[in-house]
Amino acid sequence: MYDNKKTKSNNDSGPKKSPREPAFDKEAWNPKTTIGKKVKSGEITKIDEILDNGLKILEPEIVDVLLPNLKTDLLLIGQSKGKFGGGQRRVFRQTQKKTKEGNKPNFAAYAVVGNGNGYVGIGYGKSRETVPAREKALRNAKLNIIKIKRGCGSWQCNCGNPHSIPFKVEAKCGSCIIKIMPAPKGKGLCIEKECKKLLEIAGIKDVWSKTKGQTKVKTNLVMACFDALKQLSSMRVQQRYCKNLGIAEGAIEKEEAEPEEVTKIKVKKDEAKETAKPKKEAKADAPEEETMMEIIKKKVKKQEAKKMTDTGVPKKEQTEKPVEKEKEEKNE
């Protein structure tokens, strides 16, 4: 008898979520390049010292040390085959080579790397298996990391905060042409899904876009988007426009905003303490409330005393007297 259970093959589908890499151990790392040795010794503490001087990063561990809070994601460049899952997007793009020995499959993957604050990289990996292809893509993405400019170039906003891009950029790869334009705050990323992943990891929040050509080829479209981001840092801008556009290159320090938040928290705590004080005072004033109750009782007694008759006799005595008068009249 044959089993009717369906078996899933590793080649059909790939992981949709970004892989979890093991924690990087700096002490166990043995650098081979001069830049890597300087990074491990502590001579180089920022990645800007490497990128601004035009030096090449030849070891991915350099990025792991200088950018500890690194995010990774895999792009959906492949397409599943078959009767039931045909047409669905997959992480790995599968191709085959026809030989006398049989079909030899190859798997390709695109990975995106960034810290969400001005640094982004993209890499391509290819192998006979899925896991090595993914590792190659992540390694190449770290080696291709760049620094981008952010700003507010939309005439509808003019807020001066680096939530978008300072000016429009256009790039081409193959037949795919993409144009990225600044958008006002709150608009979001109006762009293709795979390009959206690239911009989110770069730290861009609002953008408009236009595309031309065979955009269904995701590899060319994503590379065109990455080339457009490169143009942001390569274009020169006069200093008088930098303040108006709110241009910020690379990471944005959040130290300036932290003291304001701390003061707000302190003010809220002080207000909470002030509201809590009257409750304690109310407990101390409890005996005074008892005296007030006694005063109220006294007032009630006075009101009852006023309800007496004009002669000053209570109602009970007033009701008893008429009965005695009736008895005396009967006896007479």
Residue 288 lies in a domain: no
Query: Do residue 164 and residue 229 come from a single domain?
Result: yes
Q: What is the CATH number of the domain that holds 204?
A: 3.30.230.10
Q: In a 3-state reduction of DSSP, which class is residue 93? A: strand
Residue 282 lies in a domain: no
At residue 248, the pLDDT reads: 84
Q: What is the CATH number of the domain that holds 123?
A: 3.30.160.20
Residue 6 lies in a domain: no
At residue 327, the pLDDT reads: 58
Domain with 113 in it: 34-147
At residue 9, the pLDDT reads: 44
Give the separation between CA 233 and CA 236, rounded to whole angstroms: 8
Query: Do residue 41 and residue 139 come from a single domain?
Result: yes
Angle between helices 286-306 and 257-284 (to 10 degrees): 50
Query: Do residue 118 and residue 195 come from a single domain?
Result: no
Query: Do residue 138 and residue 188 come from a single domain?
Result: no
Residue 29 lies in a domain: no
Residue 268 lies in a domain: no
Residue 114 lies in a domain: yes
Query: Do residue 129 and residue 179 come from a single domain?
Result: no
Q: In a 3-state reduction of DSSP, which class is residue 103? A: strand
**Mind listing the pLDDT tens digit of every residue in the chain (332 residues)?**
444 444 444 444 444 444 556 677 788 889 999 999 999 998 999 999 999 998 999 999 999 999 988 999 999 998 888 776 777 889 999 999 999 989 999 999 999 999 998 999 999 999 999 999 999 999 999 999 999 999 998 888 888 889 999 999 999 999 999 999 999 999 999 999 999 999 999 999 999 999 999 999 999 999 999 999 999 988 888 888 888 888 888 888 764 433 444 445 555 556 665 665 554 454 444 444 456 678 877 888 887 777 654 445 554 455 455 555 555 665 65
Query: Do residue 125 and residue 166 come from a single domain?
Result: no
At residue 12, the pLDDT reads: 45
Q: Which amino acid is at 266?
A: K
Query: Do residue 110 and residue 158 come from a single domain?
Result: no
> Which ranges in 8-47 belong to alpha helices (H)?
34-41
- Evaluate the CA torsion angle 104, 123, 111, 31 in order and state its sign: positive
Our count of domains for the chain comes to 2
Query: Do residue 129 and residue 60 come from a single domain?
Result: yes
Query: Do residue 169 and residue 200 come from a single domain?
Result: yes
At residue 143, the pLDDT reads: 95
Residue 105 lies in a domain: yes
What are the DSSP E strand ranges found in the chain? 71-74, 78-79, 89-90, 93-98, 103-114, 119-127, 146-147, 149-150, 169-173, 176-182, 207-212, 248-249
Query: Do residue 111 and residue 185 come from a single domain?
Result: no
Both tokens of 152, joined, read: 């507010």
**Final residue belonging to a domain, choices 205, 223, 249:** 249
Sequence-ordered list of residues with C-beta below 8 angstroms from that of 98, at least 6 positions apart, any chain: none
Residue 20 lies in a domain: no
**Final residue belonging to a domain, choices 222, 249, 276:** 249
Q: Which amino acid is at 314?
A: P
Query: Do residue 95 and residue 142 come from a single domain?
Result: yes
**Final residue belonging to a domain, choices 249, 283, 304:** 249
Query: Do residue 187 and residue 140 come from a single domain?
Result: no
